Amino acid sequence: MEDEKILYKNETIFNKENLQNFSRFVWLQYNKFKYWAIIIFSTLFLIFGIVGAIGQVMRYQRIPNTFTLIFILIFVSIIIVMVRLAKGNVKIEEKNKDTLLKFEFSDDYLLISTELSSQKFLYTDLSNIQNVCNTEKYIYIMINKRTGYIIDKRGFNNCNEQNFTNYLKDKFKDKYIDFLDNKRKKLFTIKDVIVCIFVFIFFVVMVLAYLS
């Protein structure tokens, strides 16, 4: 009787290929604003730190001052954080290598299960899901900005893609994001903008203090 309620089924194997595609999606599409903000600010800190260090050593024949070292330290810290995030994904991949994920879509819920556990998301309460992202080869159930479930579209059995897309739009409503169209998507939040403004002000203050 329970099977009669299931409208769509999918089986996806969690492997290195799927994780790599997910990582690219998270940084280059889903968190595109944050990704480029990190690149721009880390580059600014690095350039100013290196230029300041070289200028001081050549002109004054002394060790770069504290502000120069802080600029370089901030850049190094950003790189370390990025590397740790990348290594974290590798550890996740190794821990869950070749895990079979089963997705069952009914009128009322989405059930995600493995051999060891299962999780049910009721469509009447989607507070635990941030977005459902539809891409060319994958659908990503995003739990937060960096983690989510990977649904490989090849894992569907006799599923009409357009019907399934309409189903996702109907069930997840404004949480559904279609990355197949060419429209510019606003995926940054007010918090992201505030953080960027704060970092920019901090950078300007550092530069003025350095030059004074």
Would you say how long the chain is, in residues?
Answer: 212
Residue 200 placed within a domain: no
Residue 144 placed within a domain: yes
Residue 126 placed within a domain: yes
Which residue carries 């070289």 as its tokens? 54
Mean pLDDT taken over the chain: 79
Given pLDDT bands bounded at 50, 70 and 90, which one contains residue 102?
very high
**Which residue range(s) make up the domain with 102?**
2-190
- In this prediction the pTM is 0.73
The string of pLDDT tens digits covering residues 20-49 is 888 888 888 888 877 778 778 777 777 776
- Supply the pLDDT for residue 1: 41
- Number of domains forming the structure of the chain: 1
The string of pLDDT tens digits covering residues 149-205 is 999 999 998 788 889 999 999 999 999 999 887 665 667 777 778 888 887 887 787
Residue 199 placed within a domain: no
